[in-house]
Amino acid sequence: MHKVVISGSGLFTPPNAVSNQELVAAFNCYVQAFNQQHQALIEAGHCAPLAESSAEFIEKASGIKQRYLMDKHGVLDPLRMRPYLPERSNEVLSLQAEMGVAAAREALQSAGKQPEDIDMVVVACSNMQRPYPAISIEVQHALGINGFAFDMNVACSSATFGIQTASNAIASGQARAVLVISPEICSAHLNFRDRDSHFIFGDAASAVLLERADTADAPQQFEVLGSHLATVFSNAIRNNFGFLNACDEQGIGKPDKLFVQQGRKVFKEVCPMVGEHILQHLSALNIAPSDVRRFWLHQANLSMNHLIARRILGRDASLDEAPVILDRYANTSSAGSIIAFHLNKQDLIANDIGVISSFGAGYSIGSVVLKMC
Ligand code: COA
């Protein structure tokens, strides 16, 4: 079995930053218009008035201050409240592939690798903009990579599941080097008219390059000491969008065809599972939690991360130990923990241990333990 390292990473950040205040202003405009339109029904008790959102609540409940979106005008238009992302001709690189290619190029560059060094491309994310041809094969083609590519979806845990798949392929000799790319356009699956969740997500693409340790010559490399995945079925985070929707006209356009969650339930159920998962993984590798230099945790909710870190360390984690990017990026689904890794690894030194961790719909949980070479 070959030793595997992560030798490069990349990030694509969309151009449109949207603050909580901007998002709330658009949402509240929509609420006021709705309540005005339905005034008679509301007064007669036949329709519940909609409640306004608040930027203070959002920051307090989630830690999110802003997000980056592929399009902000459509989202902030109270008459539309969804991104405007025009369809492209089949001859043009698709939007999601374009985001993935940008992140992948940076990962290649930071690893000092060329497309001909790569044998496998995995696009691992929560939503694919079409079923086929696979987005990954389009990315592979755009980058000029030989070998093979495939898409995989394990919601917010897609990147860690992708890293395990890549790592196994390299360790067993099936591939010399693999790109795992997570281009997330979460704004297109988010219901911006839902007060409970309209603030949760942002868009971004991340990429990591994994390769055999004996071929790596990047200035910073992280050996993959192990990965640990788990899934437990739950309906608490669900999206019923899919190819069967067209077969029942009654369901088309209903809110369940976008992201729906029971946030409180997710919070309560997932935090202990993730804490236990990471503790078990570290224990199996004979690593004490106190010996972990950095936790690149999934970036969904700041209080969740505080709770998880407390469960693992028995005390609060410092920002240095568990860096936060969700304040700027919001929840970017599978890209979140990889963005945290990409932006917060430069200061580590040889033999430092770090843990990438993800959790999300499924439920799905993943952890990857790394040692800087
Ligand atoms: N603005 C103002 N108030 C709001 C609001 C908004 N946008 N949304 C909800 N509220 C209100 C609720 O009506 C409720 O009021 P009440 O106490 O009078 O009934 C109160 O705020 C608390 O609502 P609740 O939904 O319990 O908030 P919360 O503290 O659980 O925070 C989340 C909500 C979504 C931030 C939080 O539950 C969360 O992040 N959960 C985990 C989500 C997650 O990780 N999902 C994985 C996704 S991949």
Residue with the two structure tokens 């990965």: 227
Q: In the chain, pLDDT over 70 holds for what percent of residues?
A: 100
Measured in angstroms, how far is the CA atom of residue 182 from the centroid of ligand 1? 26
Catalytic residue among 29, 47, 125, 156: 156
Residues in the chain: 373
The C-alpha atoms of residue 227 and residue 288 are separated, in whole angstroms, by 16
Mean pLDDT of 252-277: 97
Per residue in 296-342, pLDDT (tens digit) is 999 999 999 999 999 999 999 999 999 999 999 999 999 999 999 99
Mean pLDDT of 117-143: 98
Query: Which pLDDT belongs to residue 339?
Result: 98
> Quick check: is 271 catalytic?
no
Measured in angstroms, how far is the CA atom of residue 262 from the centroid of ligand 1? 9
CB atoms within 10 A of CB 171: 16
Model pTM score:
0.97
**By CB neighbour count within 10 A (0-12 exposed, 13-18 middle, 19+ buried), where does 262 fall?**
middle
Of all protein residues, the one whose alpha carbon is nearest to atom 23 of ligand 1 is 196
Mean pLDDT of 123-150: 98
Q: Is 314 left (phi over 0), alpha (psi -120 to 50) or beta?
A: left
Its sign, for the CA torsion 117, 119, 122, 123, is positive
The C-alpha atoms of residue 111 and residue 209 are separated, in whole angstroms, by 7
Per residue in 49-85, pLDDT (tens digit) is 999 999 999 999 999 999 999 999 999 999 999 999 9
Pocket test for ligand 1, best of 199, 267, 332, 337 (most atoms within 8 A of CB): 267
Degrees to nearest 5, angle at CA 125 with 352 and 273:
60
Query: Which pLDDT belongs to residue 347?
Result: 98
Pocket of ligand 1, beta carbon within 6 A: 53-54, 57-58, 61-62, 156, 195-196, 237, 261, 263-264, 266-267, 300-301, 304, 331, 360-361
Contacts of 244 (CB under 8 A, 6+ apart): none
User: H-type helices in the chain, by residue range?
Assistant: 20-37, 39-43, 55-62, 73-76, 95-111, 135-143, 158-171, 263-284, 302-313, 326-329, 335-343
Measured in angstroms, how far is the CA atom of residue 58 from the centroid of ligand 1? 8
Mean pLDDT of 344-370: 98
